[in-house]
């Protein structure tokens, strides 16, 4: 299964996603809740896929998405907002909150 990095500022949501991923047989290698922390973890952590929340606190996570693209890392965008909030910047799949397990399985399979 995949090694997954979670980038999510709401810890309850992050822990819920972590539990879902572990139950599905994946390994969660870290959880970043701030933009600076996420950028550092992307650079220093070994992972296959990142699940990236579109908004971290008051900041958009676009710099993290840009770094993931630069490093050719697979990622899934996660948002409680509609896709229009991304301004069409990314072609990555979108996982909407609240998380649907079947959709999560589908997107991880597609990204792997």
> With helix as H, strand as E and coil as C, how does the chain read?
CCEEEEECCCHHHHHHHHHHHHHCCCEEEEEECCHHHHHHHHHHCCCCEEEEECEECCEECHHHHHHHHHCCCEEEEEECCCHHHHCCCCCCCEEECCCCHHHHHHHHHHHC
Average pLDDT over residues 27-51: 98
- The full set of domains in the chain, from first to last, is 3-111 (3.40.50.2300)
Given this model, what pLDDT does residue 90 score?
Answer: 82
The percentage of residues in the chain with a pLDDT greater than 90, rounded to a whole number, is 76
Mean pLDDT, the chain, rounded, equals 92
Given this model, what pLDDT does residue 86 score?
Answer: 60
pLDDT band at 21 (very low <50, low <70, confident <90, very high): very high
Average pLDDT over residues 65-84: 87
Average pLDDT over residues 36-48: 98
């Amino acid at each position: 299964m995949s090694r997954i990095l979670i980038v999510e500022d709401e810890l309850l949501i992050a822990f819920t996603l972590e539990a879902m991923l572990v139950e599905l047989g994946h390994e969660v290698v870290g959880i970043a809740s701030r933009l600076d922390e996420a950028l550092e973890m992307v650079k220093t952590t070994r992972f296959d896929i990142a699940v990236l929340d579109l908004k971290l606190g008051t900041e958009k996570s676009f710099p993290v998405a840009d770094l993931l693209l630069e490093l050719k890392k697979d990622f899934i965008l996660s948002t409680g907002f509609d896709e229009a909030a991304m301004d069409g910047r990314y072609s990555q799949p979108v996982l909407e909150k609240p998380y649907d397990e079947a959709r999560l399985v589908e997107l991880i399979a597609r990204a792997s």
